[in-house]
């Protein structure tokens, strides 16, 4: 198969769909790999790195879309990229179609077979191609929160680990899933006093079993949440109710009960945020003040560490990418129901129920698409 990897063109996107290591694996499996010149630069990979891995460097995106049987990317294709997709081509990338009727329409019109990273599943009920980005955002949260807490940035002027004779920062993490667990581990590693709140007792039991000596856990009742928030120097928002907007767990009125200069890091901002006063910010201008409380609400946190994020994403996508290339999408999806769950669009038809429901478009079952 001919695998093509264009340079990402969405503003502020520095990741790349194929790492040189993934390219090398594909070449070793007997495939041809073409990468647009400069595609890996934002993640610290040069054209020479790809050539050394056996890939060919191509001058422009249209050439990549022209020659590739499968296009591998990071972000959803932008309008100019969607025009270049064609009948029978495979697109493997994040799509997030539910809130995006324009993109859905274009992908259906293209005739391409579009497999979305975010809906591929695993046998533990997880989302293996979303998890690496949650791990990155979770581990980044205490780092950016610590910066936000610095006096010059509007924060309380509190050091995460304290010093001998001065207590550490108190960090409260709301939501103990992938983001929350990684945030709590890093905050505890920086020396902070950390408590994780969650609504799931099985999850709290797991966290207590595994991390009981590293951080504390608490049930996320409204009472416990505000009591812990009042004492916190940093609060990380890491809740997720799949398919729904994030619940608002701290209201504007409650900000006056928090410590002046406390840092709210709302990782759940991509689902609308879990603090009433959260609004999405960018890496250029990441923080703002509401009633003396500092908010950090960057919606694409992994972009700040594009190299780590690219490698982490590549590790997760590589087995699926190789399976698609080795077997073709039909056989690969027939052999692996979790990959089949990633199928969102095929030959002009929508194949993902939740997207159809959100957009009011008829859906055919993915297993029917396999036979189409």
Ligand X SMILES: NC(=O)c1ccc[n+]([C@@H]2O[C@H](COP(=O)([O-])OP(=O)(O)OC[C@H]3O[C@@H](n4cnc5c(N)ncnc54)[C@H](O)[C@@H]3O)[C@@H](O)[C@H]2O)c1
- In 3D, which of 150, 327, 213, 187 has the Cα closest to residue 267? 187
- Residue 204 CB, shortest distance to ligand X, in Å, is 9
What is the token pair recorded at 361? Answer: 């478009």
- Residue 310 CB, shortest distance to ligand X, in Å, is 15
Report the residue closest to ligand X, judged by CB. Answer: 177
**148-177 residues near ligand X, rule: CB under 6 A:** 174-177
Pick between residue 35 and residue 207 the one whose CB is nearest to ligand X. Answer: 207
96, 208, 283, 338: which one is catalytic? 96
Pick between residue 5 and residue 246 the one whose CB is nearest to ligand X. Answer: 246
Helices 131-148/178-189 angle, 10° precision: 40
**193-212 residues near ligand X, rule: CB under 6 A:** 197-200, 203
State the Cα–Cα distance between residues 362 and 119, nearest whole angstrom: 18
- Residue 304 CB, shortest distance to ligand X, in Å, is 9
- Residue 237 CB, shortest distance to ligand X, in Å, is 8
336 tagged catalytic? no
The reply to whether 180 sits near ligand X by the rule CB under 6 A is yes
The reply to whether 91 sits near ligand X by the rule CB under 6 A is no
Q: Which of 19, 34, 89, 134 binds ligand X (CB under 6 A)?
A: 134
Pick between residue 178 and residue 186 the one whose CB is nearest to ligand X. Answer: 178
Q: Which of 18, 240, 293, 311 binds ligand X (CB under 6 A)?
A: 240
Pick between residue 23 and residue 146 the one whose CB is nearest to ligand X. Answer: 146
Q: Which residues of 183-207 are buried (b: 16+ CB within 10 A; e: fewer)?
A: bbbbbbebebbbbbbbeeeebbeeb
- In 3D, which of 77, 82, 98 has the Cα closest to residue 356? 98
Q: How far is CA 47 from CA 13, 228, 242, 313, 328, in A?
A: 18, 50, 39, 19, 27
Pick between residue 58 and residue 97 the one whose CB is nearest to ligand X. Answer: 97
The reply to whether 299 sits near ligand X by the rule CB under 6 A is yes
The reply to whether 137 sits near ligand X by the rule CB under 6 A is yes
State the Cα–Cα distance between residues 151 and 247, nearest whole angstrom: 30
Stretch that binds ligand X, among 28-36, 112-120, 297-305, 312-320 (CB under 6 A): 297-305
What is the token pair recorded at 7? Answer: 């340079």
* CB-based contact 75:99 (threshold 8 Å): no
- In 3D, which of 63, 66, 52, 60 has the Cα closest to residue 19? 52
96 tagged catalytic? yes
* CB-based contact 192:263 (threshold 8 Å): no
The beta strands (E) that lie in 67-112 are given as 70-72, 90-93
Element (H, E) at 270: none
Residues at the interface with ligand X (CB under 6 A): 133-134, 137, 174-180, 197-200, 203, 220, 238-241, 246-247, 249, 267-271, 299-302
Catalytic residue numbers, as ranges: 96, 270
């Amino acid at each position: 198969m001919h695998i093509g990897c264009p340079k990402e063109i969405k503003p502020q996107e520095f990741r790349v769909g194929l790492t040189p290591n993934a390219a090398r694996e594909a070449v070793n499996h007997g495939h041809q790999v073409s990468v647009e010149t400069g595609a890996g630069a934002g993640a610290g990979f040069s054209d020479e790195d790809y050539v050394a891995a056996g890939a060919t460097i191509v001058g422009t995106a249209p050439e990549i879309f022209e020659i590739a049987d499968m296009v591998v990317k990071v972000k959803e294709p932008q309008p100019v990229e969607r025009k270049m997709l064609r009948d029978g081509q495979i697109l493997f990338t994040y799509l997030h179609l539910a809130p995006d009727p324009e993109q859905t329409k274009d992908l259906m019109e293209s005739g391409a077979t579009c497999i979305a990273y975010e809906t591929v599943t695993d046998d533990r009920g997880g989302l293996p191609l979303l998890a690496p980005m949650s791990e990155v955002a979770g581990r980044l949260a205490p780092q950016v929160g610590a910066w936000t807490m610095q006096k010059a940035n509007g924060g309380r002027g509190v050091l995460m680990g304290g010093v001998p004779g001065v207590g550490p920062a108190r960090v409260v993490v709301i939501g103990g899933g992938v983001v929350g667990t990684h945030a709590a581990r890093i905050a505890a590693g920086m020396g902070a006093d950390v408590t994780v709140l969650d609504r799931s007792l099985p999850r709290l039991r797991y966290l207590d079993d595994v991390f009981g000596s590293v951080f504390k856990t608490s049930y996320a009742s409204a009472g416990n949440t505000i009591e812990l928030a009042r004492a916190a120097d940093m609060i990380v928002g890491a809740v997720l109710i799949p398919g729904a907007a994030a619940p608002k767990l701290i209201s504007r009125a409650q900000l006056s009960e928090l410590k002046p200069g406390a840092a709210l890091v709302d990782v759940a901002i991509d689902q609308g945020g879990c603090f009433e006063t959260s609004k999405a910010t960018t890496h250029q201008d990441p923080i703002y003040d509401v009633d003396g409380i500092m908010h950090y609400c960057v919606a694409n946190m992994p972009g700040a560490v594009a190299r780590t994020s690219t490698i982490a994403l590549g590790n997760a996508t590589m087995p699926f990418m190789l399976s698609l290339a080795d077997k073709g999408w039909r056989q690969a999806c027939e052999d692996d129901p979790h990959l089949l769950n990633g199928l969102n669009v095929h030959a002009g038809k929508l194949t993902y129920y939740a997207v159809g429901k959100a957009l009011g478009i008829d859906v055919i079952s993915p297993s029917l698409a396999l036979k189409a």
